[in-house]
Copies of this chain bind each other. A is one copy, B any other.
Amino acid sequence: MRLLIALLAAAAVSAASSHKEGALRFLARPEGEDAYNRQLLELAAIPSVSALPENHGDLLAAAGWLQRRLEAAGLENVRILPTEGPRPVVYADYLHAPPGAPTALIYAHFDVQPAADTAPLWASPPFQPEVRSGRFWGRGVSDDKGSGVLPPIQALEAILKGGGGGGGSGGPPALPINVKLMLEGEEEVGSPHLEPFLAKYKDLLAADFVLSADGGQIAEDQPGLTLGLRGALALEVELITAQTDVHSGMAGGAIQNPARALAQLLSTMWHPGNSSVAIPGFYDRVRPITDADRDDIIAYNFDEEQQLLGPLGASEAFGEEGYTSLERLWHRPTLEVVGMGSGFQGEGVKTIVPHRAFAKLAARLVPDQTPNEIEALIEAHVAAHLPRACNASIKLLGFKAHPYSQPKDTMPNRAAAKVLTELMGNPPKYTRSGATIPALAAFQQHLAASTTVFAFGLPDSNLHAPNENFPLSMYRLARRAWVELLFELGQQAASGGQGGGDRSEL
Contacts and interface: CB of A to CB of B under 8 A. Distances in A.
Interface of A: 51, 189-190, 229-230, 232, 234, 236, 241-244, 246-257, 259-260, 262-264, 266-267, 270, 272-273, 275, 308-309, 312-320, 325, 328-329, 332-334, 336-346, 348-355, 357-360, 362, 364, 387-389, 391, 397-399, 433-436, 463-464
Contacts of A273: 264, 387-388
Contact of A251 (B241, B312, B332): B312
A340 B237 CA distance: 15
Given A270-B260, A312-B242, A328 B388 contact: no
B364 A352 contact: no
A253 to B, nearest CB: 3
Given A273-B387, A315-B389, A338-B354, A329 B259 contact: no
B343 A434 contact: no
Given A275-B253, A275-B257, A343 B364 contact: no
Contacts of A308: 251, 254-255
A338 B318 contact: no
A435 B249 contact: yes
Contact of A349 (B234, B242, B435): B234
A251 B313 contact: no
18 contacts: A229-B249, A241-B314, A253-B319, A253-B329, A254-B329, A254-B434, A256-B275, A256-B314, A256-B318, A263-B266, A263-B340, A273-B387, A316-B389, A337-B342, A337-B343, A337-B354, A340-B343, A349-B399
A497 to B, nearest CB: 39
Given A252-B329, A257-B336, 4 more contacts: A255-B317, A263-B359, A273-B388, A343-B360
Given A244-B312, A266-B260, A338-B352, A362 B252 contact: yes
A327 to B, nearest CB: 9
Contacts of A244: 312-313
A249 B190 CA distance: 12
